[in-house]
Amino acid sequence: MLETGCLPDVLDVVGHPLQPGDRPRVRCLVRAPFEAPLLEVVGPSVEPVVGDVRDPVAVARLFDGVGAGATVFHAAAVIHPERHVRELYDVNVGGAQLVVDGARRAEAGRFVHVSSNSPFGANARPTDRFTEDSAYAPYLGYGRSKMEAEQIVARSHERGDVPTVIVRAPWFYGPFQPARQTRFFAAIRRGRFPLVGDGTQQRSMVYSGNLVDGDLKVTTDYRQVLGEVVTSRFNRSISNVFPTLAYNPLGVMRPGT
């Protein structure tokens, strides 16, 4: 198994249902050297590879020696560029192309692309629900870059290069959530974030552990979703999110809430 954009909680969930000796061999691409030890402590079956997804040499090292039939999870992406908007396209689009090409050359058996609901854009009415067949209407540069990455993955599947599934992950919370998420939830809990409008605005959300479980489920039921796009249909109103967080002393919503 190979993964880009690895986090320790992802690997913990991968190995959790299995006995130590049964854990799959997982090779992970991480950007910074300090991230490698965080993955190594998960277990001896985890092999970090330090490099940038934009670097063809780093991606080649990721796939070096990988046998045919491997499962590839591509989750590496940029949401908020550090310097230039161009980073969105270099990482999200160019990186996806390099990883897809590497999977094709390695004759990967499964390719799971972790996308976003941003390629949909915003719904016109609170009652609207996006589906896998909804038209593209990308939200800002991030949404467009993720849309273009999806198109690369879909074309690869259509050509028969590598069997793919696209998972459109919504706004996630839970272990290893971004710092901005923690600040947002804490502001709500302390009563410092205003409720805009009547609170009926909908937000697609998912607990990070459930998202990982869903990604793994895709690999076990792969033939049923081969070539498909998987989208979350669970939404909650902002007026529901606020009291849920306000009465949680940890300031973090729990799974299923």
Domains of the chain, CATH where assigned: 2-174+205-235 (3.40.50.720)
Question: Exposure pattern of 156-192 as b/e (b: 16+ CB <10 Å)?
Answer: bbeeebbbbbbbbbbebbbbebeeebeebbeebbeee
**pLDDT tens digits, one per residue of 148-183:** 999 999 999 999 999 999 988 888 887 777 788 888
pTM of the model: 0.82
**pLDDT tens digits, one per residue of 79-124:** 989 889 999 999 999 999 999 999 999 999 989 999 998 998 887 7
Residue for token digits 């792969």? 222
**At 202, is the pLDDT very low, low, confident or very high (cuts 50, 70, 90)?**
confident
Residue, of 98 and 234, whose pLDDT is higher:
98
User: Mean pLDDT across the chain, nearest whole number?
Assistant: 79
The yes-or-no verdict on residue 191 having pLDDT over 80 is: no
pLDDT attached to residue 226: 59
